[in-house]
Every structure is written in structure tokens, then in C-alpha cells.
A and B are shown apart, each in its own frame.
Chain A
Amino acid sequence: MNMNLTILGQSIAFALFVWFCMKYVWPPIATAMRDRQKKIAEGLDSASRAQRDLELAQEKASQTLREAKDQSAQILEQANKRANLLIEEAKEQAKTEGERLVEAAKAEITQEINRAKDELRDQMSGLIIEGAEKILESSVDEKAHSELVDKLAKQL
């Protein structure tokens, strides 16, 4: 076991190896590993962000659905109410219209009856006067008898 120049050779080899490792081995591996770490971190980050987005979207979707349901229910209810209202109104109108028509018809009928009565009375009085004239001819004072005849005619 002699100590000799080997010691120096070993030191030089050591220095060269360390230099080479520092220059050509360490940096690329360190960079790659750091980059991968960053990539993985970003991936995880975006995954969790996507998860959150998904949850948010789901919540929003269900909320929209709920709102739509509410709205549709409301609209349906309104429509029903309105339909009922219309029906009621139509019923009311029809009733009043019917009543009015019945009224009118009744009034017309009464009028018609009255007119017919008047007409009949007029014709009757004329006929009676004509008949009486024919019976009594000259002796009868037209004026004196027309009162009588009118009285008669009114009793009809």
C-alpha cells in the first residue's frame, strides 16, 4: 500500500466526473422532472376545476329545470283559470241573452195580440155599424148610435 501519484489521478478523475455530471447529466434530468411535476400539478388542478365546473353546471341545469317546471305549472294554472273565467262569462252572457230574447219575444207577442185585438175591434165595430145601418136604414141617427156601437165594440 504505497501512497503515490494515484491519489492525484483519482482527484483529477473525480473533478472531471463531477464536472461532467454537473454540466450534462444533472440539468436535463432536473428540468424534466420539474416540468413533469408542473404538468401533473396543472393536470390535477384542471381536473378539480373541471369537476367544480361540472358540479356548477349540474346545479344550474337542475335549477333551470326546476324553474321551467314552476313556470309551466304557473302557466297551466293561469290558463285553467282563464278558461274557467271564459266559460263562466260565456254562460252568463248566454243566460242574459236568452232572457233578453225571451223578454223580447214575450213583448212582441203581447203587442201582436193587442194589435190583433184592436184590429178585430175596429173591424167588428165597422161590421156592426154596417149591419145596423142596413137593418135600420134611414131612421137611424148615425151619431146617436155610433156611441152605442163603440160601447159594444169595447166590450168585445
Chain B
Amino acid sequence: MADTPVEYIQHHLSNLTFGKHPEEGWILAEKSSQAAEMGFLAIHVDTLLWSIIAGVFFLFIFRKAAKSVTTGVPGGLQNFVEMLFEFVDDMVKQTFHGKNPVIAPLALTIFVWIFLMNALKWVPVDWIPELAMATGLVNYFKIVPTTDPNATFGLAIGVFFLIIFYSIKVKGGLGFIKELSFTPFNHWIFIPFNLFLEILGLLTKPISLALRLFGNMYAGEVVFILIALTFGAGWIMGILGLGMQWIWAVFHLLVIPLQAFIFMVLTIVYLSAAHEDH
């Protein structure tokens, strides 16, 4: 474990990075400075690993339910899956009025996947990193993918791509450009202004999606790490920390599903707007 609180916090907020170092070639970064030097040609192994674990877990459970799905009396797993299914389906039906077979599965994937990734926060911050470092293979291990902006921006870029794709598909390339040029002010003089405004608005969507999720999760994670610091500061602080840890974890009963829900709802709203022909 790192020694000073600052080092401890920094350590816990660093990802396990694999990338091309200018001098050392393809290596696992051993220090955060090395990771920074790698630039864009690097991946966060822990982020990808845990997000894929979460995604595969989600699809495994749901695929299992889908394979044994019955129109008769549903069993426990099917009940659970159908509950989530209906929840998402209702949400999509309320918000999205077009016909698009992608939206609902997309919303379900976003909701459950982000929920699972966020849910890794409930695991006490030291457990899995310490376990991973005990193997001697890695120096860093951050298990909550949504506290990594790469993960949230990756999701948001996927959504952004879909927004552009459906805007062009529904309105046509020209129609889309026309919409960007002639709203909100329907006069040719305003075209540059409109374009500036609309493109800014368009770009704001993925950025707000990604930053909202990242910001909430990252801030929560920092607080968890700060609470974890108290465990090393004597009995009284430790017991106090235990109480705080519990309270903060309970608070995340609200935060974790809420952030997943917000991401899903905003995605549906954005895509619904992309389908609307003005």
C-alpha cells in the first residue's frame, strides 16, 4: 500500500495501463507518469476487463432467461428479467413514439450494463486492488469502469454515433443539414449562427452524458477512498469510518441505479429527438 494519504488516493485513482511507451515499447505502466507518457496509444486493462465482465454477466443472465422463456407461469429468473424488461420497455414506449427495433434493446443494455459497472462500487475500495497486487503482476487495479472517463465517453460516443446515424436515416443527409441550418431561426441570414448553435447542442449531448455519469461515479469513488483512509488512522477513526462507509454505500443504493437510469432515459430522449422530422 502507498504510504501518504495523497499517494494512496492517487494510487487508487490510477488505472492499470497497457500501452506503447516512447522509450520502453509496449509495457504495463508501472508509474502514473509512465502511463501519462504513453499518450493515446494505451488501454486501461482494468476498465475494459471489468466493463466486459459486467456486460458479459448481463448478457449471460438475460440470454439464459431468454432461452428458457415460457409463455406460461414464469419462474424466478424470468420474473426478474421480465420486470426489468417491462420497466425499460414502458420507458421507451412513453418517450419514443417511432418504430425502431434498436432503441429498446439499446436502452436495456445501457441500463443494466451501467448499473452493473456502477455496482462494482459497493465492493470496498481496497479488496480487489489489494488482491490483484498480491499476485505481483500489476501495480494498479481500479475496478469501477464508470469512474474512468474513457468508459463513459466510449458509451456516449456510441450513443452520439446512433444520434447522427438516425438523424441522417430519418431526415436524409440534406434534411439533417437543413434542420441544423434553419433552427431555431428560420432565415438564411442566421445560417452560420444556427449551425454554430445546433452543432454545439449536438455535441453537448454525448459530453453531458459522459461527464454526468463519470462525475457522479468519480466523486463517489473519491469519497469511498477518503473513508477507506480512516481505517488506517486508529480504532476510533476506524469505527467511525466503518459507519461512514456503510452510510455512503447505502446512499449509493440510490446513486447507482439513478445514474444508470438517467443515462438510459437521456439516450432514449436524444434518439427520439433524432427521429423527429421538423
Contact = CB atoms under 8 A, between A and B. Distances in A.
A22 B109 CA distance: 9
Contact of A14 (B41, B43, B66, B154): B154
B47 A18 contact: no
In which size bucket is the chain B interface? 35 or more
Contacts of A1: 13, 148-149
A123 interface: no
Contacts of A28: 66-67, 69
A10 B72 CA distance: 38
B71 A6 contact: no
A4 B105 contact: no
B156 to A, nearest CB: 9
Contacts of B42: 2, 4-6
A62 B106 CA distance: 60
A24 B15 CA distance: 33
Contacts of B52: 13
Nearest to A1: B149
Contacts of B19: 4-5
B149 A4 contact: no
A32 B109 contact: no
B111 to A, nearest CB: 11
A21 to B, nearest CB: 4
Nearest to A20: B59
Interface in B1-38: 13, 15, 17, 19, 35-36, 38
B84 to A, nearest CB: 10
Nearest to A39: B71
Given A14-B158, A21-B108, A28-B66, A6 B59 contact: no
A29 B66 contact: yes
B38 A25 contact: no
A18 B47 CA distance: 18
B174 interface: no
B109 A18 contact: yes
A24 B66 contact: yes
Interface residues of A, number: 30
Interface in A1-40: 1-11, 13-15, 17-18, 20-22, 24-26, 28-30, 32-33, 35-36, 39
B188 interface: no
Contacts of B58: 17
A10 B151 CA distance: 6
B44 interface: yes
B75 interface: no
A25 B47 contact: no
Interface in A57-113: none
B101 interface: yes
Contacts of B85: 29-30, 33
Interface of A: 1-11, 13-15, 17-18, 20-22, 24-26, 28-30, 32-33, 35-36, 39
28 contacts: A2-B17, A2-B36, A2-B38, A2-B42, A3-B40, A6-B43, A10-B51, A10-B145, A10-B153, A11-B158, A11-B161, A13-B154, A14-B158, A15-B158, A17-B113, A21-B62, A21-B109, A22-B101, A22-B106, A28-B66, A29-B66, A29-B69, A29-B81, A30-B85, A30-B104, A35-B71, A36-B71, A39-B71
Given A7-B154, A14-B158, A17-B55, 13 more contacts: A1-B148, A3-B150, A4-B43, A4-B44, A7-B153, A10-B154, A14-B113, A14-B155, A21-B59, A22-B105, A24-B66, A29-B62, A36-B72
